[in-house]
Amino acid sequence: MRLYHDALYDWSKPVDSVWETDRNTLPAPTTPRLETDETTEIAIIGGGYCGLSAAYHLARAGINVRVLEAGSIGWGASGRNGGFCSIGASFLGPAELNTIYGQDETLAFYRSLIDAVHLVESLAQEERIDFKKQGDGVWTLAHKSNRLQELQSQADLMAKLGVGAQIISAREFANQAFVSTEQFGALFEPVGFGLHPLAYCLGLADAATRRGAKINAHARVLSWHHENGSHRLVTGQGSIRAKRVIIAANGWLPEDLVPELYGRSLPVMSNIVTTRPLTGDEIARQHWRTQAPASNTRAHLAYLRMLPGNRLMYGGRGDTTGSPSGLKAMSSHLARRMARMFPAFTGAETTHSWRGLISATRRMTPAIGELESDPSVSYAFGCHGNGVAFMTWAGRELANRVTGIARELPAPLRGLPPKFPIPALRLWALRLMLLRARIADEL
């Protein structure tokens, strides 16, 4: 069932991310190994934003809930992403969503995405989670002049939702944010910010345990049995019996355990590097003035932030192997792309290089719901690289569905997406998509 090299699935090893170096200074929730056979009302597979949010909201409702995480808390995408808390969760733009779902459902979808950002803020405030907030808003750079019009459609949609997004010229952007060889104007959305993703993940886990949820780290589910109307999830040293199960594994979706999910998701690798602390002269030469996170309009994508301590974080897509050599090659590739965009940073060595999996679906929107074959099994996946806010929101929605207080989901989110054709060849489909992306970037 694994599409990539085994190195990408070694839950025993921590990730060499800049975030991971801070783990010892961050909240340390109680997450013992599961070593006995126990019972709960709701079992959750996955201890990232979605699973932890679902556990938090279920525990607040007085429901007995247990989270099973294959690695340490924050091992997956929730602890190693770029730390963008922003609007997004689809590879489709407003015009494409309008064509497929109609304007009302598209607006409902975007209202959910805006609500997701606000949910992260409200949770952090209520539970006193210090996630090291940076910036007030998010930039999207047009990497070619003809891409600015695409950004205008996003700004127009935001205006319908009462969000004052702005399109600014290349000169204005250089004055407000930074100088780059690859920007022809930009969209600024005042909803969103940067954060420390692992700090938020561990803070959410700590909040969930304080509310009564139980979390077991290093408890990968190896088998799943149905016994007398309940579910038994078996790990390496113990098991959990539950009335209901929530699957919240996203890029690491356990397709081997749930045949109905096989082929519904395409795990896509995202790589990140960070530089050494940049000097004041280097930063001044790029006229860097913003703390807000930024990405560009390339189909291949580049996303970046100036972190505390003046380290530049730079991420993108590309590797389709997952091998150690693939990580090394992508690290060099990202360093070259970064230097082309920011000549003053040429020669600034990278101190950390890591990667992880996002989840894409064939319909290019997320999936939330229950299995048709067994409504006692719920799922959420397919955040399309924007999981900080959306997967937190999805976890709350799953909890609301369990407790019976959820409203109808916007159409782009409902139910399982169609399977990818010949799921075993999904990796080759991804390679073709990336090739097309390279071509599209030059048009």
DSSP string, 56-117: HHHHHTT--EEEE-SSSTT-SHHHHS--EEES---SS-HHHHHHHH-HHHHHHHHHHHHHHH
Torsion of CA 160, 49, 46, 421, to 10 degrees: 30
**Predicted model pTM:** 0.96
Write the CB contacts of 407 (distance below 8 Å, at least 6 apart in sequence). Answer: none
Q: What's the rounded Cα separation, in Å, for the pair 217 and 73?
A: 6
Q: pLDDT tens, 351-406?
A: 999 999 999 999 999 999 999 999 999 999 999 999 999 999 999 999 999 999 98
The domain in which residue 232 lies consists of: 6-441
Is the residue at 404 inside a domain?
yes
pLDDT for residue 1 = 67
Q: Are 376 and 70 in contact (CB under 8 A)?
A: no
Split into its structural domains, the chain has a count of 1
Mean pLDDT computed over 271-281: 97
pLDDT for residue 277 = 98
Q: pLDDT tens, 161-193?
A: 999 999 999 999 999 999 999 999 999 999 999
Q: What's the rounded Cα separation, in Å, for the pair 123 and 57?
A: 11
Amino acid at 27: P
Is the residue at 1 inside a domain?
no
Is the residue at 174 inside a domain?
yes
Is the residue at 364 inside a domain?
yes
Phi, psi of 237 (to 5 degrees): -130, 0
Q: pLDDT tens, 113-125?
A: 999 999 999 999 9
Write the CB contacts of 61 (distance below 8 Å, at least 6 apart in sequence). Answer: 399, 403
Q: Whole-number mean pLDDT of the chain? A: 95
Strands (E), 166-229: 166-168, 186-189, 192-194, 214-216, 223-227
Is the residue at 322 inside a domain?
yes
- Is the pLDDT confidence value at 442 over 80? no
Write the CB contacts of 53 (distance below 8 Å, at least 6 apart in sequence). Answer: 123, 204, 391, 392, 393, 394, 395, 396, 399
pLDDT for residue 443 = 60
Q: What's the rounded Cα separation, in Å, for the pair 348 and 166?
A: 32
Domain holding 236: CATH number? Answer: 3.50.50.60
